[in-house]
A and B are shown apart, each in its own frame.
Chain A
Amino acid sequence: MTRPLQKTKLDGTHYYRREAVEAEIQELATISAAELERRSALWPSTSQGFVSPEALVYFVRNLPAGAHRDKLTEQLLGRVVRRVPRTTDASGHTTSLTRMNIREDVVDRFVDLLLSDREGYDDRLDYYEVNFNSAIARDRQDASIRHWAHENRSDDLGSDEVEVSDRVEAAVGDCDPFDADELDKRNYRLQLDDAIDSLPEFQRRIVEMLRQEIPIESKDPSIASISKVLGKAEKTIRTHRDKAFASLRLRLERKGRM
Chain B
Amino acid sequence: MTKNSPITREDVLGAFAMDFEPGAGVLERYLSQYPEYSLQLVDLSRELSREFDDDRPLSADDLATVNSGMRRLQERTATLKSLQEAPAKVFTDAAKTLGLPIQAGLALRERRIDASTVPSRILEKLAQVLKTTIAVLHSYLALPPQVSQLRASKSSTKPMAAEKVSFERVLRDAGVDEEALSKLLNSE
Contact = CB atoms under 8 A, between A and B. Distances in A.
Given A94-B61, A134-B17, A111 B73 contact: yes
Interface stretch (B39-47, B106-114, B137-145, B174-182): B39-47
Given A15-B18, A127-B14, A223-B32, A204 B46 contact: yes
Given A193-B50, A222-B32, A214 B18 contact: no
A212 B28 contact: yes
A236 interface: no
A137 B50 contact: yes
B66 A87 contact: no
Contacts, number: 156
B132 to A, nearest CB: 14
A158 B35 CA distance: 25
Given A77-B66, A92-B59, A138-B14, A186 B27 contact: no
A130 B18 CA distance: 7
Nearest to A44: B54
A187 to B, nearest CB: 9
B25 interface: yes
A252 interface: no
Contacts of B17: 127, 131, 134-135, 137-138
A43 B105 CA distance: 46
Interface string A85-126: 111100010100000100110011011001100100000000
Nearest to B4: A12
Contacts of B38: 224, 229
Contacts of A43: 54
Interface in A1-57: 7-12, 15, 43-45
Given A214-B31, A224-B38, A44 B62 contact: no
A239 interface: no
B150 interface: no
A11 to B, nearest CB: 8
B119 interface: no
Nearest to B53: A190
B73 A137 contact: no
Contact of B49 (A45, A110, A211): A211
Contacts of B18: 9, 15, 127, 130-131, 134-135
Nearest to B11: A10
Q: How large is the interface on B (under 10, 10 to 19, 20 to 34, 35 or more residues)?
A: 35 or more
Interface string B11-33: 11111011010110111100110
A76 B61 CA distance: 16
A100 B65 CA distance: 10
A82 interface: yes
A160 to B, nearest CB: 19
B23 to A, nearest CB: 6
Contacts of B70: 70, 73-74, 77
A81 B2 CA distance: 33
A250 interface: no
A81 B62 contact: yes
Nearest to B56: A86
A156 B51 CA distance: 29
B23 A77 contact: no
Contacts of A85: 50, 52
A236 B15 CA distance: 31
A189 to B, nearest CB: 4
A141 interface: yes
A171 interface: no
Nearest to A201: B43
Interface of B: 1-3, 7, 11-15, 17-18, 20, 22-23, 25-28, 31-32, 35, 38-40, 42-56, 58-62, 65-66, 68-70, 72-74, 76
